[in-house]
Structure 1
Amino acid sequence: MNRLDSEKYVAASLIDERAEDLYENAPCGYLSTLPNGLIIKINSTLLSWLGYDREEVLFKKRLQDFFVIGGRMFYETHHAPLLKMQGRVNELNYDLLLKAGGVLPVLLNSIQLKDDAGVPQLNRVTVFNIIDRKKYELELLQAKKKAEEAAKAKATFLSTVSHEFRTPLNAIIGIASLLDKTDLTAQQAKYLDVLKFSSENLLNLINDILDFSKVEAGKIVLEEKYFHIRHLLNSILYSQQYKAQEKGITLTLQLDDALPEYMYGDSVKIGQVLTNLLSNAIKFTENGLVSLQLQLLEQEEVTCKLLFKVIDTGIGIPEDQQAKIFEEFTQASPEINPVYGGTGLGLAISQRLLSLFGSRIYVSSQSGVGSEFFFVIELPVGQAEVTQEHKAIGSEPTALKPLKGVRLLLAEDNEINVFVVSEYLRQWGVYFDVASNGAQAVELARQNTYDIVLMDLQMPVMDGYEATRAIRSMEHEQYKRLPIIAFTASARFDYKDKIVAAEITSLLTKPFRVEELYATIAKSVSLDSLEQDEECDAKAPYLHLEEREIHSGKAPISIQEYIKVTRNNRDSLNRLLLLTIKHFEQYKVDFAKALLNRDAKGMGDLAHKIKVTLQTLEAVKLQRVIASGRSCLATADKALLLQINNELQEAFDCVVVELKKHLDV
């Protein structure tokens, strides 16, 4: 053998040796099997993972012997047939049994070698250890679970906070209504109009903004109705007038003369965007002018295209910062917050709201000169006669068109709520039946014909969702078309999806506004087809209660809403007061039992049932004690629970004593 041949021989030997070493100690497992799975070759890496010696495996074990039972079934039914059919399989997930016990998660890749006649000869298998990947997947699942729990906690928090916001806001709205019935100067009446508009608008905005999960999930929808466009803009401008006057800024409104009088759309969300833009303009303007402008760009037969502008002579925005101001929690510069305050959320929310209209906000600005924010939306034009009907729905209950002839089913288990709703239904001439649980509601719906159903969602025996599904499943087509209105005080964030799934027509929240209840019924029936009865609108005898009796700042409750509901009829008021006293005496016992037994569900159910009555009576202290008991139910010791129970009993007694003071005995 010459020198060259000798070098080639040595090189070939080294290559074979290195290839064998690479096979044996590769970072992944290798093995070869006969078509039946019998292992005829395996590398050291895989043997080390499995904990076996080579002689324990070679020609003694099949690949499928290392699979758990489910893996063996999958191998026989899917893996082997697929390998035979297409000659390879990739990234199949298996758990391999270890000699010492336990399993090793792996990914298998197999390729089948065949002879010239196509007969399978050998399977070559590559095994990847994915234990680290499994750990990572588990960590991801745990992180996902924590995120979902955090989201649930946030939703619960927002639900509680939304209630805390609504309670004082309902008081503001109620006081504004009382003021409206007193003698006012022209200037005071003007201020009161702005107060009523702003507080009602704020209540609507809070209901949307606090439900922040809807923003994140893209579940905010437009709630369209007819509105007076000039009145909307005048009210928005006037609500900002005081802030502008404080800074000595001129605030102007410029409206196109060709504007239609009425529009159809979501005036609340349009108002929210314009209020935010105006508020920002005033905040960032030290002197000069802020102007709200509306121009009619195009008008067709039923729609018009509108250009909204808010122009100011404020500090302006540098060009390189103009895109950033629409990002959440972002402001034009770090100096903005210490001087002007704010969270940087307003423009981001406004941009999202406008996206529902298929629009967006644009900005044109120059530092030290001022800014112009503008957007374009297209809205249907409102019809005057239709709008007048909607306008009537917002009037006082005594001025509403009678609803005599309407047949209504009220499914509600709270007797006080039944009393309140019944008073209005009688005033409007509505024929109605009452079901105290879902099963009764289903049976009454089967026996009688109704134009509309008001369905409480949380009732004994059968809840409102199940009852609605049962009614919808009835044989006749009328049950598919029957308007079923969810009637609930719930502030949870998942109930709207459940309402859709149950085929409930729409939603009316408690506590309700009188005009909302009327509008809900009126929308579901044809007013023109109803009987007219002038007597159903006759006023009941009025009481002459002094203002201090209606509401005192020191009193634990206010019966103002009770007087309004009963239209100041002394007999009706007495019945409602006695009914409330009876229920509160029972609530006192039931709450004590649930609290001392740490019954969280029982406390929750009771809190839901009493919620509307407490809000109607403005029983703030009792609400707080109940909330305190619920919040510390799981963590409080026995002594603290006893203390809270004592406070709860005292709060109930205080409310009952106050209710008895108003009885005419």
Structure 2
Amino acid sequence: MNFFKNLSIKKKLVVIIAMSSSISLLLATTVLALAYLIKVRDELVRELSMVSNIIAKNSSKAIVYDDEEGIRDILSSLQANTNIDYSILYDKEGKVLSMYKQPSVESALESIPNVTSVDRIRYHFTGEFLSWFQPIYYNAEKIGVLYVRYDLSDIRFQIRNYGLALVGTLLASIFIGLVISRGLRNIILKPILDLFLTTRKISKSKDYSLRLRNYSEDEIGVLIQSFNEMLSEIQKRDIKLEKYSEELENQVNARTSELIESNRQLMIFRKFAENAGQGLCIALLNYESVYLNPAYRRLVYEKSISEAIGKPILRYYNEEVARRIKNEILPVVLEIGQWTGELNMVTLQGKVIPTIVNFFAINDEASRPLYLACLITDITETKNTEQILRRAKEEAENLNKQLALAIGEAERQTIASQAKSEFLANMSHEIRTPMNAVMGMAALLMDTDLNAVQRDFVETIRQSSEALLGIINDILDLSKIESGMMELSNRSLDLYATVDEVMDLFAVQANQKGLELLYFIQKDVPQYIVGDATRLRQIIVNLVGNAIKFTENGVIYLGVSIATTSKDNCHLQFVVQDTGIGIHRDKINKLFKPFSQVDSSRTRRFGGTGLGLSISKRLAEMMNGTMWVESIPGEGSAFYFTVTAKVNYDANPVPLQDKKIIGKNILLVLPRERTAEVMTSILDKHKIHSMCCHSGQEAMEVLSTKEDFDAVLMSSILPDMEGISLAHKIRGLELFSGLPLILYSSIGDSKIRNDMHHLKNAYLMSQPLKEVILIKTVSDAFANTKATYIKEAIFLSDEDTAENKARKILLVEDNKVNQKVGLLLLTKMGYSADVASNGLEAFEIIKNNDYDVIYMDMQMPVMDGVEATKKIRKYCYENDKNQPYIIALTAGATIKDREACLECGMNDFITKPIKVEELKESLNKKYR
């Protein structure tokens, strides 16, 4: 486009004419070519339709009577049309009855077409041939199919000749148009070129007396006439401008002298005002400020003079004082010239300052007031001294009254807090029941046919519901703790698996922010302990979630070690470290208070209720531990907590140690120091030697000097190259052509996975870094075996789903909305279910029906779930009926609620709100 803009008008005109004619002719040529192609195609289809109809009609009786000779004679009649090179006649089963080929055709068909599904005339062009399929009917019954292949060589030759003729015509037409336009362009361009040369001459010489000759009366002639008139006007103004310039020079000299004197006087006044200890303000008679000295600005907390100039000075007084200045003080100043008195000023920060103010008028030469000025003296110290003495007396009198009121208020708050906690602890069922409906319906709606906007709305409902449920759970947890209703279970738990589950939970979230998740469990930490796995996981999830939330880049590290130990108990210490924004020392005390966060700005940015850390610390304390934090602003934070637990010596941990890898030597190529430290610690724990370097170049230098490495483990991203590039470089070294290579990459990196296929004896290990995966990957590398370690979600198999309809399910739920949600979720999974509205109704249904599974709500009118389960178990036992698999639907999340479900004879329980995954898992347990 810039090239075209810089062309001369002559060349532009030629280009425009050429392009216009070329485009027009090209469009016409294209239309003709398309019309010709369509015509040839239609004639060819019409011809082949006629031929195939004749063959089909003539061969129908021969097919019916199985006349093979007659069929061959009919197909041989196609010899007259040399363009039909192949013809095949099939019966209705697709069996070839007869085949005809032109004698001139040497090659055979590559494959015989499948025509069993042909029920109407079909044809398609394949470039060199037209393939025609026509069903043959006899007495309205399909008895066979005719296949004809038409050679398009002659047609293509005709089309090519026609196209060459059109192209030749197009080029000739463009050439003739250019020849004609060359002769006509001078008629238009000569006046324009004359105008161009004249303007350049005037621009260089500044001679406005030149005029341009006019050759015509058209638009260009009018342009030239207007140009000449403009030159005349410019010439006149040029003469006047010379006269004005002389007069202006004289005026400037006179005003300059006056300005120098005014500036000298102004400088003297400014130095006086700037250095004065009193505040000085000058304003117009409408109170609009024109000057404030530094002392005045400091007094009212004005940041700069530019922000204060033009603002009314009355804004530094309250409404009452401002009215007094307008109605009383200003008239006195205008009449006698000044006023002095005591007024209270109000700073921009709202602070009231007592002052002595001296207002006076500044007059012009005719003694008329032009400005209102005032001198301000701050008398705050004097007033403060008076107030201190007065307040001391008042405070002494009120101290006893306030103390008595505080004692009474504290007692009332204690009672109110206890009542609130007990109330919130009893609200679990009422809150979770409608939440079950909202979240269940949202999950079902997500699986329907939605457009993008609707799907976004439903996703917002789902996310908001989960967030609301999280807040409700936090509030209920806090209320249970405060009211003493929180109880911890004491069951055997796999500490290693618990930490692994937390890492899996945050793997995707951390990867989306570009963070690396690391953890390390010291060798002496027992794998199985006795405690509450749910509450321990809750603490770790809260700390790791906060670390990810407040960290933009770097590493999140979770460490587990032994603080102290005894014969039966161990004192475990956990630490979650991040490289985030950190916390100031004076804000740390707020962290563990309920509903408290570091500051309001951070709350707006990161959100949250301020309950997570408070609940986590109290849970740690309930586990005979504590929680604290160490932080450096701008560098990160480290949250520590301890718990006391019994060691479960009865459990038998599965050893990860593979004796074949002991003593092996691995080269680590990792850019982050923290990652290298953790990975080295894990390898040392399993007696594997390692050496670490932090770049690809450093790794190549190490490999060139040391040859005793058994494997290389490298990050997919290095400071100087990609990990896959380093892998190829290592493979290029003859000595290490078969060395096992392990690539450590972010989760879901499909590009790395694809690149790995081109490397032999190479292994991929995804983040987060997990001890079990690292050791298994290293073991496989040394054993030269491929393995994939993927934690799969739990789903019912296709075989199970096929049998779902045969399994009978009874849903016992009093809430109509939750009945609807439960039935829809089960229907979505392929099950059908009956419904009962209370325990008594369910018991009556069981008497006359057999069910494989019963989902039983715990709290219902007439008869609750516990009583109904006991009656059903007793009835089935006494009447020798199959015992159903009963799963509790409970809104209670306490240990007592869950134990009550199992003690009354139920097999399992699900906590409301119900999710599809939990329903599937509960049925998997039944049919597993």
The answer to whether the superposition gives a TM-score over 0.5 is: no
Task: Give the TM-score normalised by structure 2.
Answer: 0.29
> Which fold has the larger relative contact order, with Cα–Cα distance below 8 Å and residues 6 or more apart in sequence?
1
